[in-house]
Chain A
Amino acid sequence: MAEALPTIWFVLIAILWTGYLVLEGFDLGVGMHMLVSARSEQDRRVMLNTIGPVWDGNEVWLLTAGGATFAAFPFWYASLFSGLYIPLVLVLLGLIFRAVAIEYRGKGRTPRWAAFWTWAIGLGSFVSAFGIGAALALTTTGLPLDANGDIVGGGFAWFTGYAVLGGLAVVGFALLHGANFLALKTDGPVRKRMAGLAWPWGWVALLPLAVWAILVVVLAGRWWTYLTLVIAVVCALAWLLASRAKREGWAFASLAAFLVFGSGSIFASVYPLVLPSTLDHAWDLTVSNASSSSYTLGVISVVACVGLPLVLAYQAWTYWIFRKRVAPSHIPPHDVVEPAVAPTR
């Protein structure tokens, strides 16, 4: 059992990242669509209110993936985060702007105020999606790490084709997933427009993710990851059929399943590596040399066994509570706060 713990935690962290991409994937996409696909203020408010109750809970998946990596694989956490210093600082700035913008956007008095925060949501979502995609791609393809696990070559040594590929992969996926989510969760003009995005833009949006997954799977050459990859392709085809048939629920579920199998194929292919060194494979970080002690892994395993099912249950319940579509007629008029002060005499 003790020998299996690092592997179990590798799987758990893969689950956390996949959960993050499936859940925050659509709200990052909604954020970008508010900037690029909305045609009116009403569209933007409809879009924002589909993710209003749930986006913060989705973002905790990222915090948990980070915290769990720190606890279970401190060497992975230390090398990855310090190696990707600049892109992750940009991700943080994006997430900060986005979070604050979601809450503050409706609290202004002028259209300019709302427009500013729309940009903050849209660009913040884009930058964080791109940066997280780059980080995830690089953890599968490697960084120029020295024997101590520190990056060499300066502040931009991480900037490679893989970083761009991973960034585009998550941005593309989020855009499409967000469109599916909006088609499923709204009524009116937004629903119509989003449901129409699938062809031909869907394939373009999924292409970088597909290239990354195929690349990693082929390089690893494990027969059973080919199998999961094929399942992912089947899911993508199911998504295409469902979205052309305007079956919004099935389209959303198929694309989510595509992400689960795609991301599963990627993580399974790189195992047991967690962060390869592109300088010398003797310096690769693996599930065994980067992990915490069995005692620590045992402790957090107990916590995860209790905590994770609970989280899944109450988050699922939240989606059930807010299952109704958001239509323009549901949106209350914009409230402008005026001072409760008697006019000066």
Chain B
Amino acid sequence: MHVLAAGLEPLLIARWQFGITTVYHFLMVPLTIGLGPVIVYLQSRWHRTGDERFYRATKFWGKLYLINFIMGVATGIVQEFQFGLAWSEYSRFVGDVFGAPLAMEALLAFFLESTFLGLWIFGWGRLPKGLHLTTLILAIFGSVISAYFIIVANSWMQHPVGVELVNGRPIMNDIWAVLGNNTAIWAFLHTLVGSFAVSGAFLLGISWYQLWRRRRDGIDTIGPDNKVIVGENPAIPGRDKADHALWLHSLRLGAVIAVVAFGLLTITGDQQGKLMFQQQPMKMAAAEAACDTTTDISLLSFGAWNTKDCHTVTGVIEVPGVLSFLANGNFSTPVQGLNQLVPEYQQKYGTTVPNDPSTYGAAAGKTISYVPIMPVTYWGFRLMITFGALSAIASLVALWLTRRGTVPQAKWLMVLAVVGILAPFAGDSAGWVFTEMGRQPFIVAPNPTGVDGVFMFTAAAVSPGVSAGMLLFSLIALGSVYLALLVVELVLLFRYVRGGVASAIPELKNPPGPDSSGKAPDDVLAFAY
């Protein structure tokens, strides 16, 4: 390990490790947050109407939800620990303000989420119906407020507020400013609706597969009036008439959620962008490849991106005025470019890293580069929007394609619908990579209207006692375990999807015989591991 790590900077490995583990964790999180409320809706519809399809939908989506949820739990523990593990200097610097939302998240959100989800899973058949639904609502409420608290913590790194500087450290003096940080409010809403975009595509893609399967197996057909004729196949557990109603409902529900979520994503994203032009102008200039102060937006730019002086970036397609509109709401107020911002940053935060290798490692004494890696910010920003928009357009098309009451027979459309599940995941990941890498070289970005001196360079944040070899060990260990478990999760998701609704309701496989009472003995658990 030492040989491998020779020549590698601990900082670089630590950043890759944080990036990989966090993006990975955020594959599971949006599905948990987005699907949870959908299941609450389905279960409450079932309670109210007694309609079999809502019961089945609750069970089926609940099963997939749990297969995914556990991966979020398992990888979430790493998130809570890794600030102290690899980023001890960061933890020391920000602990007075950053630790509080993490402690609140654990105490107020995680306990709620985990305890009540356990009650919901094992509460089938044991708890009265209303109480059983309440346990799910409380668990999902826990998930949502945990998102709020962790985004409060993250937003403090983007836009530090509510602190004063005491002996060179930020000390919290206003918790309400921290909890009410405008960056946090909009980022939370944006993340929340982004999670619904994920669950919408998930519902749509999987329901599409089920309806396609029913047509493929000759269960559903299209009649002479161009409407679906719903059939059943008693030889396949669960493939009855209620099955069709379940999937058609879930498909349409998913499409509507995805479309509405995208609308809300543009609104919340626009508000975030406007704030970010004020709070981190460098990030936004880099996102737009705006080298010089301008009012125009770039739709396509090329150039030698890594030359950070920005003189080689060429705008290929530019639309006048739109950048100003996005940033300021009018078409004429110019937005500052990178070439104008860099001298400002140099004047405020220095031109070179202090020559102190014990704090800054290999970065000590070097010129500070204030421009984030532009291909990442520029394309990250555009990929986020593109994936989100694609998913919404596809959902609209899906609503039209299913107007006959089922899906077309074409296999490629089904494959597209299933692969399309990945689009909002990719959009979410691109958005996070953009906003976190756009904050560099700062780990705590300075607040232009905040207290002077409250900022931290990422280079100064790693653990001095942790070597490159140790970091490489953990990166390889965590990375390979994460990869293997992703495969396992996908295998299980595929297996349960292919099993149809009977994979979540085993009773459908053994219909009660004439000589049995049709009910399981009272003391057999409705659910058991």
Contacts and interface: CB of A to CB of B under 8 A. Distances in A.
Interface of A: 45, 48-49, 52-57, 59-60, 62-64, 66-68, 70-72, 74-75, 77-83, 85-86, 88-89, 92-93, 95-97, 99-100, 102-107, 148-152, 154-155, 292-293, 295-296, 299-300, 303-304, 307-308, 311, 314-315, 318, 321-322, 326-327, 329-332, 335, 337-342
Indicate the member of A107, A149, A340 with the most B CB atoms within 10 Å.
Answer: A340
B463 A150 contact: yes
Contacts of B478: 89, 92-93
Interface in B506-529: 506, 509, 520-521, 523-526, 528-529
Interface stretch (B43-51, B230-238, B334-342, B378-386): B230-238
A64 B524 CA distance: 35
B85 A82 contact: yes
Contact of A63 (B80, B123, B465, B501): B80
Contacts of A303: 100, 103-104, 107-108
**8 closest Cβ pairs, A-B complex:** A74-B95, A81-B84, A340-B500, A71-B99, A70-B99, A82-B463, A342-B217, A82-B88
A92 B103 contact: no
Given A81-B85, A303-B104, A321-B127, A45 B528 contact: yes
Nearest to A54: B118
A60 B70 contact: no
A96 B77 contact: yes
B528 A332 contact: yes
Contacts of B452: none
Contacts of B509: 338
Contacts of A86: 470, 473-474
A314 B108 CA distance: 12
A149 B238 CA distance: 61
B110 A64 contact: yes
B236 A85 contact: no
Interface string B204-222: 0000000001001111000
Nearest to A294: B171
B276 interface: no
Contacts of A78: 84, 88-89, 91-92, 95, 463
Contacts of A330: 523-525, 528
A337 B236 CA distance: 12
B118 A341 contact: no
Contact of A293 (B96, B98, B463): B96
Contacts of B121: 52-53
Contacts of A88: 81, 85
B115 A314 contact: yes
B394 interface: no
Interface stretch (B34-42, B266-274, B417-425, B491-499): B491-499
A318 B115 contact: yes
Contact of A72 (B88, B99, B239): B99
Given A96-B481, A303-B107, A330-B528, A149 B217 contact: no
Interface in B39-90: 66-67, 70-71, 73-78, 80-81, 83-86, 88-89
Given A96-B74, A315-B115, A342 B85 contact: no
Contacts of B492: 104, 107
Contacts of A104: 67, 70, 488, 492
B106 interface: yes
A85 B85 contact: yes
A241 B293 CA distance: 81
